[in-house]
Amino acid sequence: MHLVVCIKQVPDSAQIRVHPVTNTIMRQGVPTIINPYDLFALEQALRLRDEFGGKVTVMTMGPPMASDSLRRALGAGADAAVLLTDRFFAGSDTLATSFALSQAIRKIGESEPVDMVFCGKQTIDGDTAQVGPGIATRLGLQQLTYVAKVCEVDRQTRTITVERRAEGGVQVLRTTLPCLITMLEGTAPLRRGSLADMLRAARAEITTWSAKDAGIQDVTNCGLRGSPTVVKRVFAPQARAEKAAQIAVAGRSPDEIAEEVLGLILDRSPGLEDELHRRSAVA
């Protein structure tokens, strides 16, 4: 079974700061990580490979240094890695990203047909959850998003059964391969690779493809030019004019304070008291 996992290298957003004057993101010195959701996707793919045999190929589109992420994935046990990097990809929105990634997956599939593509649920920077559906649509793959569990894969009938998180419940879906899955967080965490994997990863050759290598003839579908969305303005959220009205606390007991807060809440929320009264009468 050939499984392709798309991973994105993202800035560790816990450490991102915004420049107070220019309102730009200060990326310098911010460490990059594999998008945390993609780790669940990678683990799921590795498990299927362990069960059925075959190969896991990890792929990312990004600047040359994104190869760090691929190497980490190899260290966890992935078998091959493809880095898609080209100045033509710069400034891609989700439509252009899914174009480039789907072309590369097609190319990967030429040497070895792809059975499943895995993505994370979404990223922590762009955070759109649009790339997975984009790839599935472009490649005509069955699309399974927000997958909480892969229940069963039947190689004979080439079918897969999954649990998908939906609004208000869980859908149990069955579809045929090839398909694209976006994995939900909270499934199995990524394993630590074996020592052998780590050593192999350190020396591994990472396949690096330009747009042309990935079989892309027309680069107008890539990067800024291939992106229908345009970011026109970036700005800081407006601060609220006045700060919170502070309740006097010095020398007062919690019960006195609570009495005042209760009065304030009920005063400022007309009708709320009746509502609470009604509810407590029912309860």
Partner 1 sequence: MKKELPERFRNHRHVWVVVELERGEVHPVSWELLGEGRKLADRLGVELAGVVMGPPTEATRRAAGEAFCYGADLVYLAEHPVLAQYRTEAYARALTDICESYKPEILLLGATTLGRDLAGAVATTLLTGLTADCTELAVDQDGSLAATRPTFGGSLLCTIYTLNFRPQMATVRPRVFALPPRVEKPVGRIVLHTVQFAEEDIVTKVLDFVPDALTAKSQLAYADVVVAGGMGLQQQENFQLVKQLAATLGAEYGGSRPLVQKGWIPADRQIGQTGKTIRPRVYIAAGISGAIQHRVGVEGADLIVAINTDPNAPIYDFAHVGIVADAVQILPALTRAFTRRLSFNRLVG
Which residues would be at the binding site for ligand FAD (CB under 6 A)?
A: 6-8, 13-14, 35, 37-38, 41, 60-62, 92-94, 97, 101, 119-120, 122-132, 229
Cβ at position 174, least distance to ligand FAD in Å: 23
The dihedral built from the CA positions of residue 208, 209, 210 and 211, taken in this order, carries a sign that is negative
Cβ at position 41, least distance to ligand FAD in Å: 6
Cβ at position 88, least distance to ligand FAD in Å: 14
Closest by Cα among 104, 71, 99 to 210: 104
Closest by Cα among 48, 58, 78 to 188: 48
Cβ proximity to ligand FAD: between 37 and 88 the closer is 37
The residue sitting closest to ligand FAD, measured at its beta carbon, is 126
75 contacts: CB under 8 Å, gap ≥ 6: 193, 197, 198, 201, 202
260 contacts: CB under 8 Å, gap ≥ 6: 247
Tokens of 151: 């229940």
Cβ at position 6, least distance to ligand FAD in Å: 3
Cβ at position 119, least distance to ligand FAD in Å: 3
Cβ proximity to partner 1: between 148 and 198 the closer is 148
If contact means CB under 5 to 8 A according to the sort of partner, which of ligand FAD, partner 1, none does residue 175 touch? partner 1
If contact means CB under 5 to 8 A according to the sort of partner, which of partner 1, ligand FAD, none does residue 245 touch? partner 1
Cis peptide before 133 (omega within 30 of 0): no
If contact means CB under 5 to 8 A according to the sort of partner, which of ligand FAD, partner 1, none does residue 120 touch? ligand FAD
If contact means CB under 5 to 8 A according to the sort of partner, which of partner 1, ligand FAD, none does residue 281 touch? partner 1
If contact means CB under 5 to 8 A according to the sort of partner, which of ligand FAD, partner 1, none does residue 259 touch? partner 1
Report how far residue 67's alpha carbon sits from residue 64's, in angstroms, rounded to the nearest whole number. 6
Cβ proximity to partner 1: between 16 and 198 the closer is 16
Cβ at position 205, least distance to partner 1 in Å: 33
48 contacts: CB under 8 Å, gap ≥ 6: 1, 3, 54, 116, 150, 153
Report how far residue 63's alpha carbon sits from residue 69's, in angstroms, rounded to the nearest whole number. 11
246 contacts: CB under 8 Å, gap ≥ 6: none
